[in-house]
Structure 1
C-alpha cells in the first residue's frame, strides 16, 4: 500500500509545480466531452492547442486528463482556464489530504481513490482532482483507469440526467463513482477478516496476528482518507447557505448531501469492521490462552498422579537398616500394586470431578 503521509510528505513551496506521485512514466492524455440535452461531441486524444476551437461554454464541457507527469501541460490548462498556481500545485502534489476550495467562480475538489490490490493485502491509492467553472469540469487523474467508463457510456447513450444537468451534476456522479471504490475496498477487507477469524479457530500460527495488524492498518488508512472527504462534502452545505456561488444549481446540492450521507455510512462501517478485527485479535489470544491452559491442566494432572507415587518411592528408597516391610517376600509386588491402585483411583476421581 502506498501510504499518503499527510504531515511527512515531501516539502514543496506552495507555488512550485512538480508532480510528486509514483506514475512518472505515464504519458499525459486528454479527452473532451462537449454535450447538452440535444448534442454530443467527443474528442479522444485531445490536444491543448485545440482548447479555443472545441470548448463551448454554452454547453457542458468535461475535460479529462490522464497522467500528471507533463507539468507543462498542466500549466497550459491552468493558464487557459485561469487557475491559480496554488491549486495546480495541489493537483500535482499527491501527498495532500482531501480538500475543498471555493473561489468566487471556481470550485476545486481533490480526493483519494482507493482500491484493493489483487491477490494482496495492500491498497492502491490514486489522487483525483476536479476543477469546476461555469460550464466546465476538468478532472485530473494520475493514470488511465476505468473509474469513469460507465459515466462516459451514460453520456454517449443519453442515459439518466447527466445530459440534462450541468457540470455540477457531472461532478456529483464522478465523486459517487470514486466513493463506490471505498465500498469495494471495505468489502474486500471484510472478506479477509472473515478468513482470518476462521483461520484463528484452527491455527495458532503467529502469521495470523501479523495479518490482523496489517488489516487494522488498512482500516485506519481508509478512515484517514474518508474523514476529510466527509468534512469537504459537509462544507458544500455552507456554499448553499452563502448563496454567492453560482456555478452550482440550487437543486444540485441535494446530490452532494447524499454523498455526505454515504461518507458517514462508510465511516460507521469501518468502525464496525474494526470492532470485528479487534474481536478476531481477542479470539486469537483467547485461543492461545485456552490451548496453554489445556496443556498446563494435563501436565498438572500428570504431576498430581505421580506425587503420591514419588512419595512412596522416596520412603522405600531410604537406606535405613531396620525399616519395616524390607524383609517381606512379596513386598515389592505389594508396593507396585498399591502404587497402580492409587494411580487408577486418582484418575477415576479426576474424571468424576470433570477435571479433564
Structure 2
C-alpha cells in the first residue's frame, strides 16, 4: 500500500509511505525515483541492521523500531524489532516498512500542526526520534519486572527459575542496547546536515535511552550476583546446621559403637550401673560440645 503523507506544495518535499510492498512495487519505485538497486535489495531483507549511507544525492537509512507485539520471551533483534527503510533526496522522502507503523501517521499529524513545516532532514531526525522513543516501553517493562523479581527474592518467596528470569531480562536489555548502539552512526551522519533544537532533542533522546538501558543491565547483573550470593548463603546455612548435628553425634556414635561390640571380657559390660553410666557420659559429652559451640559463637 502506497500512501502520500505530505505533498511538495505544502511542505517543500513529498513524503511517500509504502507498507508491505512486493518486490515488483519496490523495483517500480526504484526506477521512478532513481534509487540504487543495492539499497532496494536491503529493503527486501527483513533482518538488516540499522545503517546510514549516501549514494549520490540519495540518503538511505535503515532503522529498527521496537515491535509492541513481540513476545516477551524473544531475545533476538529480528523478533524484537521491525525494520523501517527511509530514502531521502531533494524534494522527496520515502518510508518503507512491512508491518503497520502508527508512529508515522502520528508524526504526519504532528508536522501538520507545526507553524513551519520541517525540512527533509528535520523529518528524518523526527522519525529517528520516534524510533528511539519506541524503546521506552520495553525498558520500562524490564524495570518493572526487575523490581518484581527483586522483591520476591528478598522476601524469600518461592519463584521457580528466578535466575533464568534475571538472565532473560539482562539478555533482552543487551539486545536493545546493541540495536540502539548501531543507530548511533545515523545520528552522527544526520548531525552533519542538521543543526538546531530538533537534532538536539534527538541526541537527548538517544542519551536517555542508552543510559536507561545501561542502568537496567547493571541492575540485572547486580541482582544475578545477589541471587547467587543468597543461594550460597542458604547452602552454607544448611551445611552449618548439618555440621553441628554431626559434631554432636560423632562422639555419641563412637561410644555406642564401642559398647555395641559385645565382647565377653569388656570392662563395665556387666557392671550394675554401666547402662546409666554410659548415658551420663553421653549427656556430659553433649553438654561440653554445646558450650564449646556457644563459646566459639557457632550457635
Report the equivalent of 1:135: 91
Q: Deviations over 1:248-305 (max 9, x none)?
A: xx545x5335423433443333223212111121122112211111111011000100
Give yes or no for contact 2:121–2:190 (8 Å, CA) kept in 1.
no
Q: How many positions carry a matched residue from both structures?
A: 294
Shift of 1:56: 4.6
Report the equivalent of 1:100: 52
Shift of 1:338: 3.0
Q: Deviations over 1:200-232 (max 9, x none)?
A: 332576622222222232122212211221122
Q: Deviations over 1:77-109 (max 9, x none)?
A: 222211111111111212222111124422211
Give yes or no for contact 2:2–2:16 (8 Å, CA) kept in 1.
yes
- Equivalent residue runs for 1:210-225 within 5 Å: 210-225=164-179
Report the equivalent of 1:21: none
Report the equivalent of 1:326: 269
Report the equivalent of 1:30: 2
Q: Is the partner of 1:129 in helix, strand or coil?
A: strand
CA distance in 2, matches of 1:351, 1:276: 39
Distance change in 2, residues 1:231/1:118 (3 Å): closer
Report the equivalent of 1:342: 285
Q: Is the partner of 1:138 in helix, strand or coil?
A: strand
Shift of 1:139: 0.7
Give yes or no for contact 1:113–1:181 (8 Å, CA) kept in 2.
yes
Report the equivalent of 1:24: none
- Equivalent residue runs for 1:1-356 within 5 Å: 29-35=1-7, 56=9, 59-68=12-21, 70-117=22-69, 120-122=72-74, 124-155=80-111, 158-161=112-115, 163-201=116-154, 202=156, 207-237=161-191, 239-240=192-193, 251=195, 255-351=198-294, 353-356=296-299
Q: Is the partner of 1:200 in helix, strand or coil?
A: helix
Structure with the bigger percentage of helix = 2
Distance change in 2, residues 1:74/1:293 (3 Å): same
Shift of 1:148: 2.6
59-68 vs 333-342, which deviates more?
A: 333-342
TM-score w.r.t. structure 2 length? 0.86
CA distance in 2, matches of 1:120, 1:354: 48
Give yes or no for contact 1:106–1:131 (8 Å, CA) kept in 2.
yes
What's the C-alpha RMSD, in Å, of the aligned pairs?
A: 2.6
Give yes or no for contact 2:42–2:48 (8 Å, CA) kept in 1.
yes
Give yes or no for contact 1:110–1:127 (8 Å, CA) kept in 2.
yes
Distance change in 2, residues 1:232/1:167 (3 Å): closer
Unaligned runs of 5+ in 1: 1-28, 36-54, 241-249
Q: Is the partner of 1:121 in helix, strand or coil?
A: coil
Q: Is the partner of 1:148 in helix, strand or coil?
A: helix
297-306 vs 333-342, which deviates more?
A: 333-342
TM-score w.r.t. structure 1 length? 0.73
Q: Is the partner of 1:147 in helix, strand or coil?
A: helix
Q: Is the partner of 2:103 in helix, strand or coil?
A: coil
